[in-house]
Amino acid sequence: MTETARRPGRRPGPTETRAAILAAARDLFAEKGYDGASLRGIARAAGVDPALLHHFFGSKEGVFVAAMRFPLDPGELVPKIAEVPRERLGESVARLLLGVWDDPERRAPLVAMLRSAMTNERVAASVREFLSAELFGPVMAAHGVPALRLDAAAGQLLGLMVLRHVLLMEPLASADAEELVALVGPVLQGYLG
Amino acid sequence: MTETARRPGRRPGPTETRAAILAAARDLFAEKGYDGASLRGIARAAGVDPALLHHFFGSKEGVFVAAMRFPLDPGELVPKIAEVPRERLGESVARLLLGVWDDPERRAPLVAMLRSAMTNERVAASVREFLSAELFGPVMAAHGVPALRLDAAAGQLLGLMVLRHVLLMEPLASADAEELVALVGPVLQGYLG
C-alpha cells in the first residue's frame, strides 16, 4: 500500500479520491447518460479539481471505462482495428472480440454490463452513447463502414457471445475459437469490408 | 366469465386449474429444466390428472410456451420454416423473426424471458433445452443445417434484436424491417442454405 503510505496529512489519498470520482461518475452517467455527463460535472460531484480526472483517467472515455468497469477499452481496441487491412477486417475483429469474451476475467464484467443495460434504460443509454462515440464512430471513420452494417456486425458478435457464454447453447458453447473465427469472419467481412 | 358460470359445484374451474398447472410448471421447469420436468411431475405438483395437461396444452412444449409466456411458439414457427424452399430460407427466417420482434406485444415477453435467462442459470437451462428440442432440432431435421451454423444464425438474429430493441442502437433501432431483411437475409442464407 505505497499509495497509503504517501498520503499527505489528512487529505484523502489517491485511492480514496479515485474511488470518489468513480462513484460520482457512475451516478452521473446513470443520470445523464454518456453524452450528458461532463468531466466538470463529475469533478464537482466528487468534490475534486477537474484536472485530477485528466490525471487519473486521461479522458471522459477513460473515466467511463473505469467507472462501468467496461471491459472493452476502445482506446486499446480502436487502434488495433484501424490498422488492420480492410480485406482482413472480418477475421481480425472476430478473433479480437472472441478473445475478449473467451477470457473469463474480461467476460465477467461484459456480461454484468449487458445484464445492467438490459434491465436499466439509463445504463442502456450510457452504453449505447459510449459505444457510438468511442468505438463505432472511430471504426466507421477509420474504415468507412456504413453505420447500419457496423450494427449488424456488432449484432452478430453480441448474439454469438450471449448464446456461447450466457445461454451455453451447444455446440456453440464448446466450439473452438478458431472454428468460430472461420465461421463468422467471412460474415463480418461481408458487413465491414 | 362464462367459464366461471360453468364451474361445476366446488371443484376449481378451468381458469383456476389452468393457472395452478402453469404455476407448477414454472416451478418444475425452473427446478429441473425443460428436459428434466415431466408432464406427469407437473400434474402431480398441481394436483390434477395428467390428461388435463394434454387437454389444455396439447404437449410439454405447449405447457412450456404457456408457462414461460414464451413468445415464439415452435408449433407455429417450425412448420412455416420447414416448408420454405432451401434457397429462400435466410430471407424467410429473417422476415419471420423480425416480424415477431417488431411487434411490441410479442417482443415484451421475449425480452422478459431473455432478461430472466441472462440472470438465472436455471431459466437459461430451460430455455436452452427447449430451443434445442423444439425449435433448433426440428429445423435442423427439416433442412439438414449443421448445429453450429444454426447457432451462428440464431446469434445473428438475437444480437440484432438486442441492439435494435433493447439497447436502441441507431441507425439499427429506426431501420425499416425490409432493409434489415435485405441486410441479414443473405447472411442467414449463408449459414442455413
Q: Which of A178 and B117 is assigned the larger pLDDT?
A: A178
Q: Which domains occur in chain A, in start order?
A: 2-67 (1.10.10.60), 74-192 (1.10.357.10)
Is the predicted pLDDT of residue A149 greater than 90, yes or no? Answer: yes
Rounded Cα distance between A95 and A92, Å, is 5
Structural element, H or E, at residue A135: none
Most A CBs within 10 Å, among B122, B123, B135, B148, to test the A interface = B148
Q: Read off the pLDDT of residues A3-25 as tens digits, 9 standing for 90 and up.
A: 444 444 556 677 888 889 998 99
Whether A118 has its CB under 8 Å from any CB of chain B: the answer is yes
Helices within B37-146 (DSSP H only): 39-46, 50-57, 60-67, 74-82, 89-102, 104-119, 121-130, 137-143
Residue with cell 472515455: A61
Interacting residues of B54 by C-beta distance below 8 A, sequence separation 6+: B39
Q: pLDDT value at position A69?
A: 72
Whether A156 has its CB under 8 Å from any CB of chain B: the answer is yes
Q: Count of residues for chain B? A: 193
The pLDDT of A90-105, averaged and rounded, is: 89
Rounded Cα distance between B155 and B139, Å, is 15
The mean pLDDT value of chain A amounts to 85
Name every chain A residue with its beta carbon within 8 A of the beta carbon of B132: 169-170
Q: pLDDT value at position B81?
A: 86
Q: Is A154's CB within 8 Å of B163's CB?
A: yes
**How much is the ipTM here?**
0.78
pLDDT interval class at A105 (50, 70, 90): confident
Q: A158: nearest CA in chain B? A: B159
Angle made by CA atoms B69, B71, B77, in degrees to the nearest 5: 135
Q: pLDDT value at position B94?
A: 93
Q: Which of B117 and A170 is assigned the larger pLDDT?
A: A170
Q: A131: nearest CA in chain B? A: B169
Most A CBs within 10 Å, among B151, B162, B174, to test the A interface = B151
Of the CA atoms within 13 Å of residue A18, those in its CB half-sphere come to 11
Q: pLDDT value at position B3?
A: 43
Q: Read off the pLDDT of residues A54-81 as tens digits, 9 standing for 90 and up.
A: 999 988 888 888 887 776 778 888 888 8
Q: Read off the pLDDT of residues A107-123 as tens digits, 9 standing for 90 and up.
A: 877 887 888 788 777 77
Q: pLDDT value at position B110?
A: 81
B139: amino acid identity, one letter: V
Is the predicted pLDDT of residue A38 greater than 70, yes or no? Answer: yes
Give 10-residue mean pLDDT values along chain B (193 residues): 47 82 86 83 95 90 82 81 89 91 83 79 82 84 90 94 91 95 96 89
